[in-house]
Amino acid sequence: MTDVLVLNFTYEALNITTFQRAVKLIFSGKAEVVHDRDRLLISPSFEMRLPSIIRMLYYIRRPMQKVALTKKNILLRDDYTCQYCGLKGERLMTVDHVIPRSRGGPSTWENLVCSCMRCNNRKNNRSPEHSNMTLRKKPKAPKYIPWIRVKRNTLPGEWYKFLFLYNVSIEDRIES
């Protein structure tokens, strides 16, 4: 893997870039190496270890954005875990309206949860109270947009401590 994690001046994750771009940022004096790899980058006049994490030497301001209300983002927020029974799995999940739309339930972050097919069918067109089911946690809108997307199971270990974009587990920040 030759991707490089780019951190802001304040050590918050900004994005992922190629090692070529990271080396350009380092040589131009805009970034410094925080963590490097075992592999070497060798030229006729210079030798250095490939960077894994770099930090910008000045602050980059990012505008706050709302997280889009999509099925994928609901499933990510709930970590692909059924909010009724606790079953976990990406292929088995769907999105459920806590208060059904037919009963006036809106399509909002606070009314949508991840649900397995079995619980969704069991709940049917009723509220959780009427179907004798309880939510594991109260649904709420996420505070941050997931800026960084990496493939599952390819995340270098040294990146974990810098990828706290959500206030939940690391899997919520990783896209398949």
Q: What is the pLDDT of residue 57?
A: 97
Query: So where are the chain's domains?
Result: 3-63+145-173, 71-123
Q: What is the pLDDT of residue 62?
A: 78
> Residue 112 is encoded by which pair of tokens?
């949508």
User: Among residues 83, 93, 173, which one has the least CA distance to residue 135?
Assistant: 83
Query: Quick one: average pLDDT of 139-145?
Result: 78
- What class has domain 71-123? mainly alpha
Amino acid at 3: D
DSSP codes, 51-83: EEEEEESS-------PPP--HHHHHHHTTTB-T
pLDDT digits (tens, 9 = 90+) for 16-60: 899 999 999 999 999 999 999 888 888 899 898 999 999 999 999
The backbone torsions φ and ψ at residue 5, rounded to the nearest 5 degrees and listed phi first, read: -80, 130
Query: Quick one: average pLDDT of 111-140?
Result: 93
**Residue 165 DSSP symbol:** -
Query: Quick one: average pLDDT of 138-162?
Result: 67
> Is residue 173 very low, low, confident or very high in pLDDT (cuts 50, 70, 90)?
very low
Q: What is the pLDDT of residue 90?
A: 79
Q: What is the pLDDT of residue 13?
A: 83
Q: What is the pLDDT of residue 159?
A: 76
DSSP codes, 2-55: -EEEEE-TTS-EEEEEEHHHHHHHHHTTSEEEEEEEEEEEE-SS-EEEEEEEEE
Residue, of 161 and 104, whose pLDDT is higher: 104
